[in-house]
Amino acid sequence: MRPEPYRILGWIVPAICFAIATFIIFSKHAAFTAKQSELDSASLKLQSARTRKTELDQKLPDQWYASVPANSNEETQFLNDLRERMHSTGVVLMQWTSKVQSYGVNANGQPDLAGGENAALLKGITRVDCDLTVGGEYSALRQFIAGLTSSDRLFALHNINWNRSDKSANQLTFSLSRYVAPEARAAQTPKTQTEASMP
């Protein structure tokens, strides 16, 4: 007795559908497992970063200084310090731009701060912004950023963006601000300021 073609198809088609469904289910399960593994890994890294931040907060220097005296070597000294930090952590500089902005004066030469007292305190202080793109291992980039944030000189970091290139290399793009004051202003502290030197 020869099997009927329709009966054969009645067995083959469901079997094929079952095989396809099984393959899709296993594929989705594998993708879900991989994503869950990535999520667990990211959670561990986040917890490690938080722990490291807590440790750094406990080791902050006793004194920070917000600005340095203005001189012709300030930028060179800053760049040398930045290169040393990169070299010690294994981070590579990929892109750099810089711009300068003075507090207390706008484009028309007028005070740009609402409070007169604040304008008097900040006038003459220069903020130097630089946009950087650096690359390296994830741990190296973390160590580099941690070194900047724990420096005894005030560095303001903002617009931080992590990404990976086509070659799967970690890249970190961020803006870093540092502050430069007239030499007399930077040298003054509340303990040493005399009545004659007060504004």
Over the stretch 20-74, which tens digit does the pLDDT of each residue have?
Answer: 878 888 788 788 888 888 888 888 888 888 887 777 666 555 555 677 777 778 8
Q: Which residue has the higher pLDDT, 198 or 4?
A: 4
Q: Which residue has the higher pLDDT, 199 or 169?
A: 169
Q: State the pLDDT at residue 121.
A: 65
Q: State the pLDDT at residue 168.
A: 57
On the question of pLDDT at 85 being above 90, the answer is yes
Average pLDDT over residues 172-180: 90
Q: Which residue has the higher pLDDT, 63 or 18?
A: 18
Classify domain 67-187 at the CATH topology level.
Alpha-Beta Plaits (3.30.70)
Q: State the pLDDT at residue 128.
A: 86
Per-residue exposure over 38-53, b if at least 16 CB sit within 10 Å of its own CB, e if not: eeeeeeeeeeeeeeee
Is residue 187 very low, low, confident or very high in pLDDT (cuts 50, 70, 90)? very low
Q: Which long-range CB contacts under 8 A does 84-89 form with residues at least 24 apart?
A: 85/144, 85/147, 85/148, 86/134, 86/144, 89/136, 89/140, 89/141, 89/143, 89/144, 89/147
On the question of pLDDT at 190 being above 60, the answer is no
Highest mean pLDDT among 1-5, 102-106, 162-166: 162-166
On the question of pLDDT at 144 being above 90, the answer is yes
List the chain domain ranges. 1-59, 67-187
Nearest in space to 172 (alpha carbons), one of 183, 163, 159: 163
Distances (CA, A) of 66 to 70, 131, 136: 13, 19, 29
